[in-house]
Structure 1
Amino acid sequence: MTVRFLVAGEASPDLPLRVLNLLALRSIAFDAASVQRDGDTYRIGVAVSGLEDGVAELLLAKMRALVLVESATLSS
C-alpha cells in the first residue's frame, strides 16, 4: 500500500529537507516527492509504499511537530 504525506509550512529552504530527513533517518526510500511554493508557504507531497503498520502515523506525528510546519495530513 502507498501512503501520501501532505505537509504545508513556512517557505523556508530547510523545510523540505527536514521532512525528507525524517524518512532518511529510518532508511525509508520514497516513491515520489514534490515541493510547490505558494507565496510564503511550501506544500510538500511525499509518496511512500510498503511502510510497516504504525510507521506512517509515527512519521506524521513527527512531521506535525516540526517547527516550520503549519499542517500535515496522511492519505492512502
Structure 2
Amino acid sequence: MLYLPCPFCGQRDESEFVNGGPVKPARPDDNISDTEWIDWLTVSVNPIGYVEEKWWHAKGCGKWFTVNRHTVTHNVVKADEKIT
C-alpha cells in the first residue's frame, strides 16, 4: 500500500487520492514548431527515479499538492524535501 503525505491532513492511504500525473515543464514560448508543441502536450516523463507528481486528496481535504515519488520503489517524499 502506498501512503501519501498530505500537507494538510498528514499521512494517508493512497485510496483517498487521485493521481494528477507528473508535473509538466513550463509552457513553451510561442516560437516553437507544431511537432514540439504536440510533444509538450502529449509526451509524459517516465524516467527511472524520482518524478514530481500532482495528487488530489479527493476523499479528504480536497486540496491539490505535489510529491516526489520514485518510479521503481514508490518511495514518496514531500516536494520540498531534498532527495538523496
- Fold conserved (TM > 0.5)? no
Higher RCO by CA contacts (8 Å cutoff, separation 6 or greater): 1
More helix by share: 1
TM-score, structure 1 normalization: 0.29
TM-score, structure 2 normalization: 0.27
* Higher CA-based Rg: 2
